[in-house]
Amino acid sequence: MGSVWETAQDYYTWVLENGDSRTDPWLLVYSPAPVVLIFAAYLVIVALGPRLMDGREPYTLRAVLLIYNLALVGLSAYMFYEFLVTSALAGYSYLCQPVDYSGSELGMRMARVCWWFFFSKVIELLDTVFFIMRKKFNQISFLHVYHHATMIFNWWAGVKYVAGGQAFFIGMLNSFVHTFMYLYYALAVMGPSMQKYLWWKRYLTLLQLTQFGAIALHSGYNLVTDCPFPDGFNAAVFAYIITLIILFFNFYYQTYLRRTQKKKEL
């Protein structure tokens, strides 16, 4: 038992000490402990939140949600711009891009936007809190919780060890998609008068699936070619993105294709 504990301690020390020295001093990066606590608190809220809302009227939160969603539109658009422009100025390759661990202006600029992307995933956990407060429990699916909870770990590891390189492609695509996703949410919260302008909801899911497909191809390509970017990260990204493709396709099928099929049968 002692050797197991010593091995775990050695591994934890390795996790702490082998990160990117540029990003280690930044908020929530050096140790996984804060992210683990955030993850645990999130799961407790998911488990107990609906019970706490029993017997209470749902909160409307219209003004709060409008500000929140518009703020995330702005943040997502900013991150997309930073990923795109920084990668273009630095001459990044879309086929194979190692991490620039230097303290150069563009290297630090890319590392900073990677941190903002990670931190945006922490902010987005509020999506679930707002669903609970509004008693929209049907929105808190396995897909929703799985995606939100795992992204904070994925991007903590990204910022801790590979802030840049191949990872820029994921952050850039996801920021692009989230710009439109949170714009949709901002419009939806304005009330029934906006419903006629929200016909494109299903296309958001298709956009997300397209994004996942592009990321799967991107990371998969680098698993079968010689690229100086850690294979472990590419393998983890590839495996994770396949789970998202399966879950999001199932959501799309159940929500749109099956529903249309049932209407035709009626």
Distances (CA, A) of 66 to 184, 190, 198, 213: 11, 8, 16, 31
Residue 95 lies in a domain: yes
Q: Which of 143, 113, 140, 142 is nearest to 126 (CA)?
A: 140
DSSP string, 160-186: HH-SSTTHHHHHHHHHHHHHHHHHHHH
Domain count, the chain: 1
Exposed, middle or buried, 116 (CB in 10 Å: 0-12/13-18/19+)?
Answer: middle
Task: Tell me the residue ranges of DSSP E strands in 11-141.
Answer: none
Residue 2 lies in a domain: no
Residue 15 lies in a domain: no
Interior/surface letters 209-247, b for 16+ CB within 10 angstroms, e for the rest: bebbeebbebbbbbeeeebebbeebbeebbebbeebbeb
- Spell out the residues 6+ positions from residue 145 whose beta carbon is closer than 8 angstroms to its own: 43, 46, 128
Provide mean pLDDT across the span 30-34.
97
Residue 12 lies in a domain: no
Provide mean pLDDT across the span 215-228.
94
CA dihedral 154, 156, 160, 166 (to 10 degrees): 40
> Tens of pLDDT along 119-163?
999 999 999 999 999 999 999 999 999 999 999 999 999 999 999
Exposed, middle or buried, 166 (CB in 10 Å: 0-12/13-18/19+)?
Answer: buried
Residue 228 lies in a domain: yes
How confident is the model at residue 195, as a pLDDT?
86
Provide mean pLDDT across the span 162-186.
97
Task: Report the Cα 107 to chain-centroid distance in Å.
Answer: 22
Catalytic residues: 147
The tokens for 75 are 């943040």
Residue 166 lies in a domain: yes
Residue 11 lies in a domain: no
Residue 220's identity, in one-letter code, is G
> Tens of pLDDT along 56-83?
999 999 999 999 999 999 999 999 999 9
Residue 5 lies in a domain: no
Distances (CA, A) of 51 to 56, 140, 167, 251: 10, 14, 39, 26
Q: Is residue 39 very low, low, confident or very high in pLDDT (cuts 50, 70, 90)?
A: very high
- The structure's pTM equals 0.94
Long-range contacts of 242-251 (CB under 8 A, 24+ apart): 242/216, 243/146, 244/147, 244/212, 245/209, 245/212, 245/213, 245/216, 247/142, 247/143, 247/146, 247/147, 248/143, 248/205, 248/208, 248/209, 248/212, 249/209, 250/143, 251/141, 251/143, 251/205
Domain that holds residue 254: 20-265
